[in-house]
Structure 1
């Protein structure tokens, strides 16, 4: 009886629209700061880090090492997902969000202070690597908590929309990162940019972090976690419980999201490097292209999130992944055309496909897991996709180009990631009408794959 009363109270707590606006705003601003910090590193990796921290190496090798440093955060993200997921399921969502944001901000600010290779030698890239790992650790806990803050507060018929609001932090953060670099690069000589200008966007992140912390101090814990706490249903070891009960959902959820990370990283990191290093487009032009694509995603992501509330998560995600696969070759044909207008078209089309994929995916993954290990499940599954897809994509694309000299090799890579995602997505059931307050739920795998007992 008490469990039913608690569930009713949790449902009632989601009816306050003013509260939802406040919570979604806090989540978007927080994730925007986190992704700004993360993708600022990606932009710098494509444009300057290879010359600042790996100057004595061949251009392609230096770029690969720069991108591998970029990728290192994805290993740390998995550790962060397990660590923050444990405490997020044990202590609550809100406290973990504050800790993760402060950790990310401190690491990003410190990157702006790291001396270059010419000053301290090999210690420079090692310090860069350490701070990148700390960034990844923080993001591993940030994203899952931010998603749950919105999804666990949202009414059932709008979970897809509010979950997608967290996702727009990615294009906004990326947009801000590129705007920061564009302003710096446009007003400084190449020598000044490499000497000190690149540091400015990293140091300015402290302002964004302060704003994010202030806003997050004023949000409430989620109804679902309150129910877990009040019923005494906390898992003693959330990750161990997760892998015992939900290991198939974790793996399939991670692979289903593989195409998301591969495509987005292609657009914001690999594509920038390919456009400047291989095709001769200017740095500023490529930054403008990325910003245009991010503005498009800002509108498209919540649109597809809302659409998933009407027709289901899987159809929208499935359509987005198929579109990514179909656009893989045309994307490079348009880039290789030599027309700047066609580059904008290529990025716009691929970003729309990505938005259909990415908009509903946060809510879809959250709905795969019971509320008592949802923070761990959501975080680990998503960070697994980053490890499989986003982490290696920049380095792989540079290596493929160096080995083959053909952009078609990258297109095949993107198509391969899409196929794997479609297979995993097929094996997972629709989650739109799932009970977000269920303490434990393993009925999320298609009947052709036996769910964990």
Structure 2
């Protein structure tokens, strides 16, 4: 086995790890900051779609239809996440993880800031929702490319015994982004309540994205490229058409990996997609709570989700990725069946309890995902594999979960059907997890492509 020269702060080994702990800490910090900014922007839109976009951009369609259209714009962006994943996967496998992360961060921040400046329907007519949708599509493209680069930067820098907890670092950006987005909107709902929130209060968190993007860009610029990619580059072993190779040899694996995430994502988008926020604050609905109270509950649940995401990554290094998932799926199923009975009490405390309980399972099935995905795919096509699996899982899971939930409530007059829909998506995740082998600790470097190419699908020996 050959070795390679050291890189600036301590070098890399053929297994794809950096030797200096300071470099590892820098990578972890950069991935957390970057993904937090990305998901703050992404979830800010989803929360605003549940709270104000229906009234400001789609009001002529009528109250009921306006809200459905608003939620559909949340889902529409998911259809463009695979495009972002395809582009990022190709660029990331050919030119590196770091350059893609800089591009996605800039695109997301610019789109979010422009939404904060966008005139409403009353000012520019139909051009307002059209521009809103275009900017949301750009957010979707950015989100599709962001995740794969962030998790590979973390996992490919990690010692093989700590990939779960290192991989959980960029995953923390999701609940942190939700916490910041809900917290900022909740703060503005207190500072500028009622008509002031509709007039200008909702815009402030969007405009704040410009500042956050500068911080995230600066932090990421200081991080070294992934050692696995550096090794591939030095050996000139980069795949010319990684996406073609991915689908020619690993199409079934991509689908199964996507279904694992879909089981988590559909349930998570009850809050990150803005559905619970709208359902619980709708003055004509069965709950009718104050906007600030609901956003406060979502913020607390995001803090719980953050904690259990980290725990999920930590536990995955001790009992394996699959076993951690199974514990998480069981907890998520409990949360699904308790969610709406607690929300429908119209008690802020019980609403918060329901969301916190749900976050336990969401965290335990989200924390191990980065390590699980990175260990599924060979080094030369890994960025494409993890990015496309993640984006496809988001389409199958959370893309239209708020719209489906709204349609089910409108059709049945209650939330029981929504509960069974979410339980069904959780069980799909369970089945997909059962189909995969646990490959915890498998070498990630290009020296071990032959071992990595052995199919991780149970019952299948070769890709």
Return the match for 2:364 from 323, 340, 356. 356
The number of aligned residues is 452
Distance 1:12 1:78, change over 3 A: closer
Q: What root-mean-square deviation, in Å, do the aligned CA atoms of Structure 1 and Structure 2 show?
A: 1.7
Return the match for 1:84 from 61, 82, 88. 88
Residues 228 and 439, structure 1, Cα contact 8 Å, conserved in 2:
no
Cα offsets for 1:325-383 (capped at 9, x unmatched):
23322211111123222111111110011111111011111111011111110000011
Work out whether 1:439 is the aligned partner of 2:443: no
Partner of 1:67: 71
Partner of 1:39: 43
Cα offsets for 1:266-304 (capped at 9, x unmatched):
133211122112311111111011100111122221112
In the TM superposition, residue 115 of structure 1 has moved relative to its aligned partner by 0.9
Partner of 2:166: 162
Return the match for 1:402 from 403, 410, 424. 410
Partner of 1:141: 145
Unmatched runs of 5 consecutive residues or more in structure 1: none
Alpha-carbon distance in structure 2 between the residues aligned to 1:338 and 1:85: 45
Partner of 2:376: 368
Residues 16 and 444, structure 2, Cα contact 8 Å, conserved in 1:
no
TM-score (norm 1): 0.96
In the TM superposition, residue 57 of structure 1 has moved relative to its aligned partner by 2.3
Work out whether 1:246 is the aligned partner of 2:256: no
Higher deviation after alignment, 124-133 or 269-278: 269-278
After superposition, where does 1:172-187 map in structure 2 within 5 Å? 172-187=176-191
Residues 248 and 451, structure 1, Cα contact 8 Å, conserved in 2:
no
In the TM superposition, residue 450 of structure 1 has moved relative to its aligned partner by 5.5
Return the match for 2:55 from 51, 54, 73. 51
Partner of 2:226: 222
Alpha-carbon distance in structure 1 between the residues aligned to 2:61 and 2:154: 46
Alpha-carbon distance in structure 2 between the residues aligned to 1:398 and 1:210: 37
Alpha-carbon distance in structure 2 between the residues aligned to 1:450 and 1:334: 46
Partner of 2:123: 119
Residues 93 and 221, structure 1, Cα contact 8 Å, conserved in 2:
yes
After superposition, where does 1:1-400 map in structure 2 within 5 Å? 1-2=1-2, 9-11=13-15, 13-268=17-272, 269-277=274-282, 278=285, 279-400=287-408
Distance 1:12 1:152, change over 3 A: closer
In the TM superposition, residue 3 of structure 1 has moved relative to its aligned partner by 7.3
In the TM superposition, residue 449 of structure 1 has moved relative to its aligned partner by 4.2
Residues 427 and 449, structure 1, Cα contact 8 Å, conserved in 2:
no
Alpha-carbon distance in structure 1 between the residues aligned to 2:151 and 2:306: 17
